[in-house]
Amino acid sequence: MNSPTPSASPSAPAVLAALSPALPGADMTLTKLDSALLNILVKDGRASFADIARQLGISRAHARARVQALQASGVIEMFGAVINPEKLGQVVSTFLDIQVAPVALETVAQELADCHEVVSLYIMSDLRSLHVHALTDSVPSFEAFARRHLFNRPEILSVDCKTLLTRVKNRRGGARL
């Protein structure tokens, strides 16, 4: 199977220039073909170039060149596996909105980002809030995480904590275009 993996092809810059002059810039405009290709990869990051080509009605070489161009432009950052945390015993999904003293925001964010329980962390636009998603195997495990990393820290001003009850819609594999 020919999987869309990064290539050290010496002709990549030539391929990029020939396919789309908009690609080298940061503000890339996606074509309908690019959007369709990305949706295929979102659903199955292991789709072969031949499978992509078949689904899009293009040649295998064109599919390969488009994937490489999207990688080179930074639209595709990486290929990876989407893991089901419940299959690994991580059944408690907790969302935290944490207010932090602005002077300590980046320090607290980095400390929490280094915790294995934290699966995503965002600094919000008010520049004093963190939105955190934590996964643990039990409520006592989450409580231990909170005691270790959140309690008795003067730079953490407040914590709003909610545990997930039911997933209604889950954006697996990234953005849909």
Average of per-residue pLDDT values in the chain: 82
Residues 134-163: pLDDT tens digits? 999 999 999 999 999 999 999 999 999 999
Q: Work out whether the CA dihedral 38, 40, 42, 45 comes out positive or negative.
A: negative
Asked whether 104 and 174 are in contact (CB, 8 A), the reply is no
Is a pLDDT exceeding 60 seen at residue 175?
no
| Residue-by-residue DSSP string for the chain | ---------TTHHHHHHHH-TTTTSSSPPPPHHHHHHHHHHHH-TT--HHHHHHHHTS-HHHHHHHHHHHHHTTSS----PPP-GGGGT--EEEEEEEEE-GGGHHHHHHHHHTSTTEEEEEE-TTSSEEEEEEEESSHHHHHHHHHHHTTT-TTEEEEEEEE----S---TTS---
Full-model pTM = 0.59
Share of the chain above pLDDT 70, in %: 74
Instruction: Tally the C-alpha atoms within 13 A of residue 138's C-alpha that lie toward its C-beta.
Output: 3
Is a pLDDT exceeding 60 seen at residue 13?
no
Residues 95-143: pLDDT tens digits? 999 999 999 999 999 999 999 999 999 999 999 999 999 999 999 999 9
Closest CA to 118 of 134, 99, 129, 131: 134
Query: What token pair was written down for 60?
Result: 């295998």
Residues 42-56: pLDDT tens digits? 888 899 999 999 999
What lies within 8 Å, CB to CB, of 149 at 6+ separation is 111, 112, 115
pLDDT of residue 7: 41
Q: Provide the 10 A C-beta neighbour count for residue 82.
A: 10
